[in-house]
Amino acid sequence: MKSSYNRIIAALLLSLMLPAAVCGADRRAAVIDSLRHSLESAASARDSLGILYDIFDLSVGENRRAAVRDVYDAAVSAGDTVAQIDAIKYQANLSFNAPMYLERLSELIEKYPDSPKAREVALFIRLLRFDNTLREKEDDIDSETLGKLICDYTVSPPDSYFDRIDVLYRICSCLGSTSRGELYKYYTRQLERLVAESPLVDGSLRHLVYTRMAPVFTAHGMAGAAIRIDRNMLNIIDSLSATYAESGRKYRTLSTNRYSCYSRLLANYDSLSRNEVEQYYRAVLDLAEDDNQVKANMDYNPVPQAYYNMAVGNYPEAVEYARRAIATGRNAKYHKKLYHVLYEAAAASGDRQTQFEAAVELYKFYTSKSEHITLERARENSIISVIGELRARSAELERMSRYKLLSAYRVVIGIVALALIALVIALVWQRRAIRRRDAEAAAMRTRLSKLTKENEELTEARKADAEQLEKVRAGDKTKSDFVNNMCHEVQTPLAAISEYTRLIVDCIADAKRPYLDRFANIVDLNARLVQTIVNDVLDMASLEHGNMAIRLEPSSVHNMCLLALDNVFENEESYKPGIKVLFNTAKLPDVSVLTDSQRVVQVLINLLKNAEKFTDSGTITLDYKVEPDAGRIVFSVTDTGIGIPNGQEEAIFNRFRQLDINAGGCGLGLYISRLIATLLNAIVKVDTSYRKGARFLFILPL
């Protein structure tokens, strides 16, 4: 017993003397040995689980595979289901290119009880397996199969967000293997938004999707999207680091993940401010100082140094680092960017030979790219043609189905009409018979009979009123059901109009495209306006009938705000050129609240759209303030628009109420926002103290 106690003390002292980010091979091995000694005195499997996690976090190469299997075995012995699922996820990540092993892990995860985390890890493994299959059958992907996959998703997307992510990921992967044109960019943006909107509980799916898409967006010149993805990745890493720290995993630093994010951010240096470039490069240097693995990577493959020196104007250094980064052979997807850096830095520093060499490589790249783009367009046109044929068939089938349904409706309506006529005749005959009997008995009855008659007439009147009221209610319900059905029916044609319009424009020759593109944008804008009205009517019906469910779960305030901004503004810019969009002007840190994030985002979107509608110039600001003493968080949407007249602060929340009938919309946004707030035990109101425009407050309990 005494020797075991001494071993534990020795292990603790050794771990305290070594830094949290143990990087050297000898020091890493020493800590692992001390941890293995401490395992001998662990009282139970649960006690040994934390030690095995530390061994796994410190291990490298093949040792990590053995270490994570030990973690899984200990989690099984301890009955810790969450740790078992995490261990399965780690094994899948380490074996991403081993199809047979991934298949066994997929079968294993399916045996666990259904939960959001288990479903997410199962989908993560399923996507890794699909990547392996795609690499083996990349040449077998035909336009008809891919077109059918896209058409099925567009016409009838799955109900579960897990299934939608699955199908969209497959579409993007197939398009990325055959063509990286406009269709590919369109569906990758859809996948990004779906992943951002989905209430995922584990970081594995977002990490997989984001790491696949960020380099693609950078390569296609979509710097804003690439920067947004990597910033979201850093938020995820921060959240994971905090979780690991709280659970005692002090060696799980995620340094290499942070390094990859910062390196990708610096690749878009020409879209970053000078302060942001300095901040990200300083973060890279700090990581290299704390982690020898990161430092070795930077020394061998100096991509961050090349981008940083180019951004700050150190052109000779940028030339040297860019040459070294290209020579490693590990940056194929960034070669175009690196050759641009090499060319521009050589031109600025007067190195004509290097400038010429870079120009030759860029010429080769663009020549090859031009041929590739021609092939991509041919493939996309083939896919679009298949989609058009499939949709035409689907439309014809739908038309025939509607015709049959309409015929059935006519028969039912005829039967109901005959039944109503018969009922009316019976009621009329009955009322006449009652009156005739009352008239014959009137002369013979006493005063008591008269009072009885009056009482009967009163009862009959009440009964008639009740029947009339019931008919009114039934009519109102029929009207509501009709409106809801029509709204649902309108959604699919609207989506088809927008998409077909865009497809038509994309197939037009370049010389005519600008002319038709303006009309396509008008069609798309009006379709989205009608879609907004339809969604408002549907939401109003669900809220008024109590059919809208609330799902409470921990949600990031930053993510909810950014999602609302992305839905209303393109790259945080309004379509009105005179408006500037601001967020979190006080630079408050992100917080997590227990709420229904989808409904919170819906309220914020309605408030932001309202602000944009009534603001022609100035600013629209989305802020939040946490008030822990009051147990609430206060969102505010402030604009410099026309403001709200005195006495109308509550009237604007009425259904179909519009202060300016020329402003567009149907007057449901604020009404729906207040209904959703009531479901969340929250408050939506106007800040009457603000008079430079309008300010709406959304007060949500913590």
Question: Residue 113: left if φ>0, alpha if ψ -120 to 50, beta else—which one?
Answer: beta
Residues near 297 by beta carbon (within 8 Å), at least 6 away in sequence: 256, 259
Angle at which helix 335-349 crosses helix 352-442, to 10 degrees, equals 130
User: Which residues on adjacent β-strands are paired with residue 620?
Assistant: 581, 639
pLDDT at 15: 39
Residues near 685 by beta carbon (within 8 Å), at least 6 away in sequence: 649, 696, 697, 699
User: Which residues on adjacent β-strands are paired with residue 467?
Assistant: none
Please name the amino acid found at residue 502. Answer: R
Dump the DSSP string for 685-698.
EE-TT--SSEEEEE
Q: Which of 668, 579, 683, 578 is nearest to 636 (CA)?
A: 683
Burial (Cβ within 10 Å: 0-12, 13-18, ≥19) of residue 241: middle
CA torsion through residues 302, 305, 311, 313, sign: negative
SS (H, E, C) 554-598: EEEHHHHHHHHHHHHCECCECCCCCEEEEECCCCCCCCEEEECHH
Please name the amino acid found at residue 173. Answer: S
Helix (H) or strand (E) holding 632: strand 632-639
pLDDT at 557: 94
| Beta-carbon count within 10 A of 491 CB | 14
pLDDT at 484: 61
Helix (H) or strand (E) holding 144: helix 143-155
pLDDT at 476: 55
Residues near 11 by beta carbon (within 8 Å), at least 6 away in sequence: 34, 35, 37, 38
Tokens of 345: 């830095």
Please name the amino acid found at residue 221. Answer: G
Distance of CA 419 to the CA centre of its chain: 52
Distance of CA 87 to the CA centre of its chain: 26
Helix (H) or strand (E) holding 619: strand 618-627
User: What pTM was computed for the model?
Assistant: 0.49
Tokens of 530: 């009608």
Report CA-CA distances (Å) from 106 to 127, 200, 201, 390, 550: 10, 19, 19, 33, 31
Tokens of 389: 């044929």
Could you tell me whether strands 579-583 and 618-627 are parallel, antiparallel, or unpaired per DSSP bridges?
A: parallel
**Contact between residue 605 and residue 564 where contact means Cβ atoms under 8 Å apart:** yes
Residues near 8 by beta carbon (within 8 Å), at least 6 away in sequence: 38, 41
Question: How far is it, in rounded angstroms, from Cα 56 to Cα 368?
Answer: 45
Question: Residue 590: left if φ>0, alpha if ψ -120 to 50, beta else—which one?
Answer: beta
Please name the amino acid found at residue 408. Answer: A
Give the tens place of pLDDT for each residue, 147-196. Answer: 777 877 777 788 888 888 888 888 888 777 666 667 777 888 888 888 88
pLDDT at 62: 82
User: Which residues on adjacent β-strands are paired with residue 556?
Assistant: 592
**Contact between residue 15 and residue 249 where contact means Cβ atoms under 8 Å apart:** no
Report CA-CA distances (Å) from 279 to 56, 222, 293, 414, 664: 31, 22, 21, 74, 43
pLDDT at 5: 37
H helices of 443-512, in order, are 447-507
State the 10-residue block means of pLDDT for the chain, 702 residues long: 36 38 65 85 84 85 86 90 90 87 91 90 90 72 69 79 86 73 77 84 81 76 84 86 82 85 89 92 90 86 90 91 84 77 88 85 69 49 51 57 65 74 79 78 75 82 79 64 63 73 74 70 62 65 68 92 88 81 92 91 92 91 93 94 87 76 69 89 92 93 88
Dump the DSSP string for 47-71.
HHHHHHHHHHHH--THHHHHHHHHH
Helix (H) or strand (E) holding 402: helix 352-442
Residues near 696 by beta carbon (within 8 Å), at least 6 away in sequence: 607, 610, 611, 636, 637, 684, 685, 686, 687
Question: How far is it, in rounded angstroms, from Cα 676 to Cα 326?
Answer: 54
Q: Which of 382, 568, 491 is nearest to 157 (CA)?
A: 491
Question: How far is it, in rounded angstroms, from Cα 573 to Cα 575?
Answer: 7
**Contact between residue 694 and residue 639 where contact means Cβ atoms under 8 Å apart:** yes
Report CA-CA distances (Å) from 126 to 104, 122, 149: 11, 6, 17
Could you tell me whether strands 632-639 and 618-627 are parallel, antiparallel, or unpaired per DSSP bridges?
A: antiparallel
pLDDT at 388: 55
pLDDT at 222: 79
